[in-house]
Structure 1
Amino acid sequence: MPKTTICTAIPYVNSVPHIGNILTDLSGDVTARYLRMRGEDVFLQVGTDENGLKIQEAAQAAGRDPHEFVAEIADRFRSVFDAVKISYDEFVRTSEPRHIRASQELFRRLREAGHVYLGKYEGWYDVSTETYFREEDLVDGKSPDGNPVRWVSEDNYFFRLSAFGDAILRHIEANPGFIRPENRKNEVVSFIKQGLRDVSITRRNPGWGIAVPDEPDKVIYVWFDAVINYVTATGWPDAGWEDRWPARVQWVGKDILTRFHATLWPAMLMGVGLPLFDTVAAHGWVLLGGEKISKSKGNVVRPIELATEFAAKAGISQDLAVDVLRHYLTATFPLESDSTFTYEDFDQRYNTDLANDLGNALNRSLAMAQKFVGGEVPDAAPEPEAIEAIETAKQAYAVAMDACEIGRAVEAAWGLVRFLNKYIDTRAPWALSKSNDPALGSVMKSMLLCLRACEGLVRPTIPSAADAIASQLNLEPTRTWDSIGRDESLPAGTILQTPRPIFPRLELTKKEDAKRVEPKNVESKPSTPPVAQPKAAPEIGIEDFVKVQLRIGRVFEAEPLEGSDKLMKLQVVIGDERRQIVAGIRKNYGAEDLIGRQVVVCTNLKPAKLRGVESQGMLLAATDSEGGAILLQPDREAPEGTNVK
């Protein structure tokens, strides 16, 4: 049976991987996981690029033999891919014998077909990017990337890339989805129409690289051999490669699209008569401090270290912390433009999307199921609006994935998560239960079916969290796309687990800049200035204290009160009732900080009007050194409506 092949650009092994490296592989992984759910037999390829002068010089600088050097770093990449849960089927190393054989065979066939000729190359070479540049391409004597260049003059083989420009343009015209996104396709078309130049595809053998067939004094240019890895993974040129080629999608970064994956690589395939891949998708960069994350610049964020640090800070497992990283990168996915990473945004995205939206939907749905339907899935028909919301999310997700728009796919999944939270508020199961409304069973079934559908929709991006949701539903993980939203995916009578927060809310105590640079040579000051002590209040007896009723509530809506720069208007669920509370906390809390948060509420205070809006309770808070509010909350999730004693 033919495979659905997904390819990912292979990173250099001259250093350790960072989050910019894994974005490409994560894109391939999410695509592969989604297509597997659609029932396709997926073959996902990843790997490492181990040839080229840059690799040799990095090994020499480290005092290492190149073979040992690349093997060690390739193992690091493999371990990072495994830790980030990249579900690859093949890991290709370009120093492997099978890749050397495939590269030499493809070179030989191009030469025999007349697409390769011997000539003299003179020009500037950027070792950092392994790229040749003309004099007019240089900027202040450096490559366009700002790297040093060196003059190269040698007899090399050239590939007649100029002969393939019209054929590539015709293919792009006939296949609108060949290059994604649209803005990058336009850049490629413009580049080709300026006229493609023949490219040097060999260089003098420095002692490392793939030798030119029958000419060991030359090696194949690293960019020429690197792209061949995609067919190496299929087993080409041996029989059976046709079952894994052409690729459905090749994921690459935007910087290697125009010169290589959208022009050179298609021309090479055309030259040897191999079919072209269906789509090449080029994502943008992840920026840090306004610059591209780059090993050469040293401004790296390493994925495993980031996940480990966050796991300790948030009190979650390493697997779930990896999911936090996966969610962040996919939810902020830079397809048409770049994205900027900051630790502050990373933490805030966790609170907003995972702790508040998804965590709230899970905890509320299961808690109410325990309270109102005996902790099991009711035998009732889901309401039409819930079924429609699930189908809308599925369709939007599928359309986005077909267009390689992973960020939009994540947004489609979160659209259903947010629908579920709003549906709970609108249908108010606590009120239905109190009035013995017969619609309660259908409402609870709708909530649980939406939750089950959310588990399926988030599975390609956060698989460990999806497993945890399925476990609390006491069901097997969702395996197929078609089952999402089906009644049979949530059998009536299933005994549900007691809700356990997967993503506890993170308390954000201070803002941190993108590089987490600590100030130096600054006089030490107390982090929290002392607060003036209040005068002692008169003593009261227990009979006075018990008059004050304090209960646990959860904020499900929050917005600034119009006309006030201090007040927030909150909707709070307290047990089986809903209350509106106006609180002077806007200076310290935004709406995104409050939604989903548990709070302590004084519930028997007389209603009061603030700015003409009724407040039906009061939140408990401490006061910071500047008079701002510090909301009190239980140190772990408490049942909503619980009395505080």
Structure 2
Amino acid sequence: NIHNAELNDTLGNLVHRGLTLSVKYAHGHVPDVPATPCFDVVALKTATEEAFQSYALQEAVFRFIEVVRATNGYLTTAAPWHMTDDHAKQVVVRTILEAIYVFAHFMIPFMPATASRVFGFLHTPPTTLPLLSSDFNNLVPGTPIKNVTKDDILFEKSEAELAALASKQATAAPPPAAKKAKEDLPLFASCDIRVGTIIKAWHHPDSDKLFCEEIDVGLESGPVQIASGLRPFYSLAEMTGRRCLVLLNIKAAKLGGFKSNGMVLCASSEAHDVVEFVEPPAGAVNGERVFIATESGDPVSEGQMKKQKVWEKLSADLKTDDHRQATYKGQVIQTSAGPVLAKTLTGVHIG
């Protein structure tokens, strides 16, 4: 069965957060900035159509909830409340409002009253699924957004609606996601991979292959010190000010006597004769965690990373795609400002 609590924790939470943030950061209107798609609308359409064709209505709902959960993860990771740039905040707000509008269409078959309420919050009528844009540009900039209050309970009638769905699907098989073992870790979300900027770099005194770096990753304690074997590939001048991704929740290691408190991520050619940083876009904020659309959650401890061999399992599936985008199992690695890119390398391993 599908529980009302799950919907409140996922979709209800997302709608409330999105509308509240629009009031706080966009004066209660749809911001006039481009959104950053945080999930694949076409894939969601396809999965829903396939589920309906096989009368697997519960599976359609479960898939829907998975995408909503990932979008909540995007918002948590983007953390506009920590941003100092107003434009960056509004990009996140626009993205979440566009996501909510898309989600309302997929609610119509199951929760028509709730879907209607969401369209009312957005002051935007529904369209048809074929006309629903997959580029997150369905809403008209400047459209007023409902200022939600504690009296605006999104799912007050959803139990009856969902009970009807459950009775229709009493004999349906559970979707694949329901069979997943609880102990399985979402590998990517388990890693604390953050956007950073190298603010200082110098040659390691005892190694001709290592740089020592101080990297701003948004921590209150200040920059972290990391050693990287990049001297054969970058000059000292090229290192300073470089944007990068940093894996933080691994145990510190001594490299040539220098304590390294993390690892920068780079793409490497098969012959290892070309190595490039995978770099966040200009609008990404130091300290924000990168994410993929299909996973969310808090990073695990350094001890769990080691015990579960998280990095060893995950790194085998980190690659650049044909568009130089960093990916994990084909899922594009994103920041609040867009995907992470290598400069030139395609189809190579990231580590």
TM-score, normalization by structure 2:
0.42
Instruction: Point out which structure has higher relative CO (alpha carbons under 8 A, 6+ apart).
Output: 2
Larger Rg computed on CA atoms: 1
TM-score, normalization by structure 1:
0.23
